[in-house]
Chains A and B, each alone.
Chain A
Amino acid sequence: MEHRTLLSPSDRRNTGVKIFMVLAVTVMVICAAVMVVPFLWMVATSLAPAQALFSWPPKWFYGTLDFSSYKIAWLHVPFATYIFNSVIYCTGVVAGQLVLSSLAAYAFAKLRPPLGKFLLILFLSTLMIPAESLLIPLYLVMKEFPAASLPHTNLISTYWGLILPTVVSAFNILIMKSFFERLPDDLIDAARLDGCSEWMIFRRIVLPVSAPIFTVLGIFSFITTWNSFFWPLIVLNDPKLYTLMLGVNKMVEAGEPWNVVMAVVTLTTLPTIFIYLAFHKYIVRGVVFTGMQG
């Protein structure tokens, strides 16, 4: 027996409901088409010959598939560099976030630090600060890191400046804390009696059992970081350090023809869809989880 929904079996036999459902399916298919047609148009444009772009009315198919735009895109846009930068950026952020958040969350959940309650509130209150409003001051901080009165360096346009401000995440701490709280205390006490140091307990006992939460949060923050645009735009001046999103935007600003641009866009979009298909379950869970949590 399937989980029943709003419509009861007798509702479903009703003629009016049947007609309504047909209409509803039509509406949904139209909506889905609206969602998908831009993607098809993107691919169609990227495969169209350059001279066909300025014909009216535009056509979906111009007789031949022209892959030259992809070739131009690959040659003009240093994809390898951008993707390399993006991967470094994402890896650094994900690693930093997971390490910092898991350590802090474990301490809050199981170790009873002095002033723990106060520190937790202090950490979680950063959830209320919108990221966008901190970017300008962060830029100034990164320019003279850590502070102007101390010996400082300029982290603008470096990987450090790119990665460091994003490695703290109160949200991850919140979720990991609720995960660690569900681990049994006996496990940790037993290890304590056996003479494990706290670090060893964390490393050898807690980490192995928390793989699922690390996976979900890791994938999720990887995608968020991969898509992020504002902070790289502010902090990076050197085209050699551009992340993929920034590089794509710069290339469009440079005024390439639309078929090349669409080729670039397609190449940028495809990996994320593959990643989604590969980690489908985790991503959906993460999206629902974060959405539910706010």
Chain B
Amino acid sequence: MPAPRRKRLPTDFFDRLLSNQTDDQMNDLLSSLVDEQIAPTPEAVPEESPRLSSPVAAAKKYAKEFHRDKIEDSIVTRDEALDDFSGPSGESGGDIIPRSARMAAAGVVMPPVVEPKPAWEEASPQVPAEPAGAGWKQTGVSRLVEQAGAALPGADFTVPEELLQDIPSDQVLEASRPEVPVVDWTAALSVPEVPRTPVPEPVRSSEPVRSPEPAGVPGVPAAPVPAMPTAVAALPPTHEELRRQRRSVRWQRPPLRKPKMPKLAVPTPPITFKPPKDKIDLGFSLDRLMKTRVRRASKAALLFLLPAFLGFSLFSWYPMIKGFIISLYNYAPLGTSTFVGFANYARAFHDEVFWSTLMHAGGFCILALGLGFWLPILLSILLNELRWGKGALKFLFFLPFLMPTVPAAILWKWLFDQGFGLVNALISLLGGNPHIGWLTSPQLALLSVVLLYIWKNTGWAILIYSAALASIDETLYEEAELDGAGIWGKIRHITLPSIRAVTGVMFLITVINTLQIFTEVFILTNGGPMNATEVIATYIYKQAFFYMDIGYASALSFVLLLMLLVITVFRLRRLGPEGD
């Protein structure tokens, strides 16, 4: 290699390079450097200093000072730091493309950037190892110098000192930026594997064993091998290991990425406004004032809660306890009550009518779910597809819900009338039996009440399902179409899963409502014919106010409470944390 001819860079080289020039201008600059045959430096650079160490060391020193200044100022906000970093001058604040990349893009043909030395060279004492500066060689001034050197083959530059005094802060920041950490692959790889051959080697020593120098990588110093805790000696690396080792030391170009925030020694303080409490003399302590006010508020809170607390204890807790106590008595409203223990509950257990009320309530629930649960889902999905008339149809569906339960039940009593009701008239129009006893035959009575229930509550359910359907993200459908889903597929895989939460809640609401149904049954059939529609609530009512057996009615109430409590707890758990 011939002796390098040293050339002096023009003093404004970096300024021109770093100022926001177009690529063409940069290209011109570089070619002018070649053409002008920059004069060699008169003074000789001491040979013992590594080629690039002194400018970069100076840059690092500068960077440290710069940091200290910054710290002393301690007013660097995140944005300012970004501004400092992102571009040489203020006008290109967002420019994050490395200059080398820009040069490459402009067509400046450059031989590959001087390859970073592999890890073992990096660790060698030639360059004093700096804790945070593992990647500094590739950055900042040095890279520029290298690039310039590479662009002028055969030339070798030194950077004049005065340039280094004046390095713009952004470059220094870049220089001090730790780049992609260089992994010491040799160290990582040199963890010896368990020898594959089970034949035990003769024990050599328990000292740290150095693996012999791999034959395939000349000049690579032997990597230190951690001491083996066992007596098994490290085998010479196999061929496979050597190959892996050789492959691993190949340099990989760090990916081009947005430069990270330079790490400042002091984290930028969060920008919050704190009222200067102690600096303004208010004549009193604002802090203490606030504290007393808040304490006063939490005392006042008790007064705010008092009415509700009284209400709940008088009308919820106390009746519940009282109901339980009375259920243990043979309660006589006028005479003396006698304590009977759990006899009322035992009586309920043996009461055939009570069991039949449970059966009817369960049957009512199943009928209402089987006939009426899917209907609003289907109707709301269909309604959602309509382009016009949606509102009108929804209003028509909703009308029955608007009707209070009592008139609705009375109306249906007339519709179900055996002699002159509309339902029978329509059936006779279709050629059926015109005198079906909807409310008088024990087989049909329960079904009639269920029909009333469905008629009344479908519109309400449609309203809720429609709200749920409207909140489905439409892009889900688009994605499903891209995946080739048909209409049925979309319904099955998107619509139904999306409204699943609502369906679950509606299911439980229906169960709870049907188990404690009273008004519809009371008006339509009053439990008749022959107890065929007797449900729990009507039975309790009859026990309490017809047979005046209030103790027994209380016991039945408590059973109903426990039953519904189980379901409600289940429902609240289904609702999840937002349920309460």
Contacts and interface: CB of A to CB of B under 8 A. Distances in A.
Interface in A1-59: 3-8, 11, 17, 21, 24-25, 27-29, 31-32, 34-39, 41-42, 45, 53-58
Given A132-B560, A138-B319, A227-B404, A35 B460 contact: no
B385 A6 contact: yes
Given A8-B477, A132-B560, A198-B297, A164 B315 contact: yes
Contact of A137 (B289, B319, B428, B459): B319
B412 interface: yes
B297 A273 contact: no
B377 to A, nearest CB: 13
Interface stretch (A70-78, A210-218, A244-252): A244-252
Nearest to B397: A35
B231 interface: no
A108 B561 CA distance: 28
B314 A123 contact: no
A129 B320 contact: yes
Interface stretch (B38-46, B92-100, B194-202, B299-307): B299-307
B298 A112 contact: yes
Interface stretch (B63-71, B102-110, B256-264, B569-577): B569-577
Nearest to A227: B404
Contacts of B569: 128
Chain A CB within 10 Å, residue with most, of B323, B417, B429, B468: B323
B81 interface: no
Interface string B258-291: 0000000000000000000000000000000110
Interface string B541-580: 1001100001001100110110011001101100100011
Nearest to A198: B300
A21 B297 contact: no
Nearest to A124: B580
A107 interface: yes
Contacts of B571: 294
A95 interface: no
Instruction: Name the prevailing secondary structure of the A interface residues.
Output: helix
A261 B410 contact: yes
Nearest to B569: A128
B399 A35 contact: yes
B568 A100 contact: no
A24 B554 CA distance: 49
A234 B537 CA distance: 12
Contacts of A11: 487
Chain B CB within 10 Å, residue with most, of A134, A170, A173, A264: A134
Contacts of A261: 410, 414
Q: How large is the interface on A (under 10, 10 to 19, 20 to 34, 35 or more residues)?
A: 35 or more
A114 B302 contact: yes
A127 B502 CA distance: 19
Interface in A245-265: 245, 248-249, 252, 258, 261-262, 264-265
Contact of A104 (B305, B323, B490): B305
A265 B408 CA distance: 8
Given A32-B393, A136-B550, A165-B315, A130 B516 contact: yes
B537 A111 contact: no
Interface string B445-478: 0000000000100111101100111100010011
Contact of B414 (A21, A28, A262): A262
Contact of A268 (B319, B407, B414, B417): B407
Given A128-B569, A141-B318, A262-B414, A104 B406 contact: no
A54 B7 CA distance: 122
A183 interface: no
A129 B422 contact: no
B161 interface: no
Contacts of B553: 136
Interface in A157-173: 164-165, 167-168, 170, 173
Chain B CB within 10 Å, residue with most, of A38, A54, A112: A38
Given A192-B297, A193-B289, A113 B314 contact: no
Interface in A193-211: 193, 197-199, 202
A181 interface: no
A64 interface: no
Contacts of B226: none
B425 interface: yes
Interface string A277-294: 000000010011001101
B408 to A, nearest CB: 8
A39 B463 CA distance: 20
A146 interface: yes
Contacts of B328: none
Interface of A: 3-8, 11, 17, 21, 24-25, 27-29, 31-32, 34-39, 41-42, 45, 53-58, 99-101, 103-104, 106-108, 110-114, 116, 119, 122-124, 126-141, 146-147, 164-165, 167-168, 170, 173-174, 189, 192-193, 197-199, 202, 226-227, 229-230, 233-234, 245, 248-249, 252, 258, 261-262, 264-265, 268-269, 272-273, 276, 284, 287-288, 291-292, 294
Given A113-B302, A114-B301, 9 more contacts: A4-B477, A25-B386, A45-B414, A113-B305, A132-B537, A198-B296, A198-B300, A272-B402, A287-B464
27 contacts: A4-B477, A7-B385, A25-B386, A32-B396, A37-B422, A45-B414, A100-B308, A104-B308, A111-B300, A114-B302, A127-B568, A131-B516, A132-B557, A133-B557, A133-B561, A134-B316, A165-B315, A193-B290, A230-B518, A262-B414, A268-B407, A272-B402, A288-B464, A291-B464, A292-B468, A292-B505, A294-B571
